[in-house]
Amino acid sequence: MLQKIVQNAGALLDVNSCSIALTDMQNGALITRAAIQKNGHRTRQTRFQLNEGVAGWVAENRQPLIIKDARLDPRFKRLGRSPVGSIICVPLIDSGNFIGTLTASSSDVEVLDEDKLQMLTIFAEQAVLAIMNARHAELAQRQTSQLEMLLNLSQDLTTRLESEALYRTILVDAHRLVPCQRATIYSYDVEVQQLCSVAELLETTTQPSQSSQPSQSSQQPQPVPSIQPSQPSQASQQSQVGDYQVLTNADVQRECISLYDETSATAWAGVHRHPMVKASRDEADVAEITTPLVSKNVLYGVIVLQRRESFTSEELRLVRNLSNMAAAALENMELFQKVRSDQEQLRAVLQASSDGIAIMSATGSFVEVNPAFGQIFGLDPQQMVGMEYMELFDADEELPVETRVNLEQVSAALQQQQMLPHIEIDLNVNGVPRSIGISVTPVTTVSKPFSLVIARDVTAIRDATRIKANFLSMITHELRSPLNAINGYLDLALAGIAGDLNAQQREFVQRARASSENLYALVEDLLFISRADSGRLRLSRDITSLREVVANAVEELELMAVDNNVSISVTIPADFPPIYADAVRLQQVLRNLLSNALRFTPPGGGVEIAASTFIRVSDADPSLDLQDTNEKMALVTVHDTGCGIPSEYHEHIFERFYQVTQPNAGRVSGQGLGLAIVKMIVELHGGQIAVESTPGEGSTFSFTLPCLLS
């Protein structure tokens, strides 16, 4: 298009030499873009500074110039061998903005006059319109091409999830979008607040651009600025792509810049989250664009582009768009690596765990099984994947009743996605009896629910518990015989069989008898605990009267109540029906509760034992027409006016060997087994026990017995 303009201008003025020069957007110099000479020869591009030659004078003064005799005008400067007699030069101005010059010349003097100057001025206005339309079309085409390139780059970046490949892609795409001699990516380390170089692109051959051609005013070679690459380390990876190479170094950081280094443009861009542009001051300087890589207000790094020529505002816009996409890709890569790291961590934990861990789908099949789980059940973990839970937890009719019941509980928990805290099952694994503890935990996720099954081989623990219980049971049995003998002889001594005792001797024997009785009670409690742990504790139920059981318990502790100056009252209806229970164990329950009440009630206080009946509505389906849907229950309460128990201890007082230290109560007697035994006996009867207590107001222990006869 420019060549056509100069040809038409030459034809219009009937001259054989015509040229058009346009301004360089970077430094404002004039560069000859199109020209015709005699015989149709084209001249090479020439660079003019302002006020240099005729075109330079027109550019600076923004007005047309006619020289009828070039030999007499000092503004004329010969550029070639062709003679020039007269010359016309007009400015090209668009909306007040100077964009270039249009020059026509003739070898004869006094050939170009004011009429031809006016003709060229009018022609120049039309040329400006053509040039601007061509520029707008070129800009639209370039922006369309850049948009397509950005879309392709975006797709290219989103497919890279490894750091080395992503860094290389960002650098190659940046070089493709904005030509540069060097590009560097700095990764931000938030822990040390430093920007460290992780990848670099460097041109291996530097081609001089058209804009850097020497001007006609100076034929001396210009110095070329040096862009030195950083020395690659042994850990870096190099790849040659065309005329440039990419260095990536993910392990060894070659250059680290403090984020708050005030002398560094790279640090400034990272701190302020804003790009920074440095123009080249002269041909020996290096231009630089420094752009932060920020996504969702999180700094991931900085990318730096360098070259000899200054960067344009359009290139800055492209780099900012690329940096936004690169930052999003770095964020995706970081999320991907975090997810992968978490998965690898989880898989390592599963593989190394000594507990068997299995993940089961909502349909009841094994999704993942760790080696310990397969070892516990004697199966290959890989073969268990896809297996239905019924194949492993099937309640076979040949199994013991307790084992079948436990397996059915596990199956129900898996099928109904319910929590099963812990259950122990006795199974034969490859012909060897094993005790396996199993827990089921339902897990709900966004995608789909699943169940987490934890299995642990507790055979050794159960065997050790049984051995301990048997040993304890044997020891307590062996202690009962000598204690009975001690108690018997002490009773004979107190009866005077061996002679009369003086007052001091009687006191000593009575103290020995009381201590022996306490020791006997402790032995009985330990024996009870050992039987319960070994599963050998059985109830001897029979039809009995609750009033008689309460009376016997009160009689046992009547002397203790008198000594402590505490009254005991019993409120049980005379027509209270008989119950079907173990009278000895039930009396032990009342004795332990009454003993605690007397021990913690101050002198002058009181203890009340009451019993009543109520109807407990069953959860059974009424349509089944069962006779036992409404169950009659007995409720027994022991209330005292003692010091009370703080609420934070209510959950623990029924644990073994747990004691609550009361202020101003001195040393607490007992071993902390009484309430634990009470809870065991009540639950063996199918009942429940609870406590209500307020410090300073006393305590009320209540237990129910579902064994009332109608």
Q: What is the pLDDT of residues 674-686, one digit of tens each?
A: 888 899 999 888 8
Query: Where are the chain's structural domains?
Result: 1-140, 160-203+237-340, 354-462, 483-532, 538-618+628-706
> Alpha helix locations (H) across 496-540?
503-534
Judging by beta carbons within 10 Å of its beta carbon (0-12, 13-18, 19+), is residue 346 exposed, middle or buried?
A: exposed
Q: Name the CATH superfamily, with its identifier, for domain 538-618+628-706.
A: Histidine kinase-like ATPase, C-terminal domain (3.30.565.10)
Q: Residue 708 gets which letter from DSSP?
A: B
Q: Are strands 606-617 and 567-571 parallel, antiparallel or unpaired?
A: parallel
Q: What is the dihedral of CA 347, 351, 352, 358, to 10 degrees?
A: 100
Nearest-angstrom CA–CA distance, 14 and 8: 10
Nearest-angstrom CA–CA distance, 331 and 161: 10
Tell me which architecture the domain covering 160-203+237-340 has in CATH.
Answer: 2-Layer Sandwich (3.30)
> What pLDDT score does 700 carry?
93
> Could you tell me the CA-to-CA distances from 688 to 173, 224, 377, 677, 685 in Å, in that order?
75, 95, 36, 13, 9
> What pLDDT score does 292 carry?
95
Would you call 490 helix, strand, or coil by DSSP?
helix
Show Cβ contacts of residue 316 under 8 Å, excluding neighbours closer than 6 positions.
275, 277, 289
| Amino acid at site 45 | Q
Q: Residue 388 gets which letter from DSSP?
A: B
> Could you tell me the CA-to-CA distances from 392 to 194, 442, 631 in Å, in that order?
55, 18, 38
The number of C-alpha atoms within 13 Å of 119 and in the hemisphere containing its C-beta is 14
Q: Which CATH class is domain 1-140?
A: alpha beta
Q: Residue 379 gets which letter from DSSP?
A: S
Q: Are strands 237-241 and 194-203 parallel, antiparallel or unpaired?
A: unpaired
Residue 450: in which H helix or E strand, if any? strand 450-457
Nearest-angstrom CA–CA distance, 433 and 461: 14
Would you call 387 helix, strand, or coil by DSSP?
coil
> Could you tell me the CA-to-CA distances from 573 to 104, 546, 612, 639 in Å, in that order?
133, 10, 8, 17
DSSP 529-588: HHHHHHT------EEE-HHHHHHHHHHHTHHHHHHTT-EEEEE--TTPPPEEE-HHHHHH
Give the CA diameter of the chain. 168
> What pLDDT score does 702 carry?
94
Decide yes or no: CATH 3.40.50.300 for domain 354-462. no
Nearest-angstrom CA–CA distance, 313 and 306: 15
With residues binned 3-state (H G I as helix, E B as strand, rest as coil), the percentages for the chain, rounded to 5, are: 40, 25, 35
> What pLDDT score does 322 carry?
86
pLDDT tens profile 106-159: 888 888 888 888 999 999 999 999 999 988 888 787 777 767 776 766 766 666
Nearest-angstrom CA–CA distance, 572 and 546: 9
Nearest-angstrom CA–CA distance, 588 and 581: 12
- Contact of 455 with 437, CB cutoff 8 Å: yes
| pTM as predicted | 0.49
> What pLDDT score does 705 carry?
87
> What pLDDT score does 267 carry?
93
Share of the chain above pLDDT 90, in %: 20
Instruction: Evaluate whether 1-140 and 160-203+237-340 have a shared fold.
Output: yes
Nearest-angstrom CA–CA distance, 491 and 493: 5
pLDDT average per 10 residues of sequence, the chain (710 residues):
88 87 79 74 66 84 88 78 84 90 88 89 91 86 72 69 82 86 91 90 59 36 44 49 66 75 91 90 83 92 91 87 87 86 87 89 87 89 86 73 82 85 85 88 84 89 78 75 86 86 87 80 78 77 91 86 90 89 91 89 92 75 47 89 87 81 54 85 90 90 79
Q: Are strands 542-544 and 698-705 parallel, antiparallel or unpaired?
A: unpaired
